[in-house]
Amino acid sequence: MPRLALYSLAVCALAVAAAVISFVNGSFIGVVWVLLAGLSSNMAWYYVRRARAEKADAAPAAQV
């Protein structure tokens, strides 16, 4: 898994934890944390898919 995808997953997990803590404490700033979790989750998927596509593109070129 690409390094940027791992970083994005770590940020996603921390943002979800921060959102839970914020909502438990009665603060609506947790909405911002939820949005950050969604953004970082999408970034992680993007980097994983990009790495898979690059790997698939490199495989046929290596066979020739």
Domain of residue 18, residue span = 3-63
Give this prediction's pTM.
0.83
Which residues have C-beta within 8 Å of that of residue 11, sequence separation ≥ 6? 36, 40
> 34 is written with which tokens?
């939820």
Count of the separate structural domains present in the chain: 1
**6-42 confidence digits (pLDDT tens):** 999 999 999 999 999 999 999 999 999 999 999 999 9
Given phi > 0 = left and psi -120 to 50 = alpha, else beta, which region is 2?
beta
The Cα 41–Cα 29 span in angstroms is: 19
Give the pLDDT confidence score for residue 4 in this predicted structure. Answer: 94
Of residues 58 and 5, more confidently modeled: 5
The Cα 36–Cα 8 span in angstroms is: 10
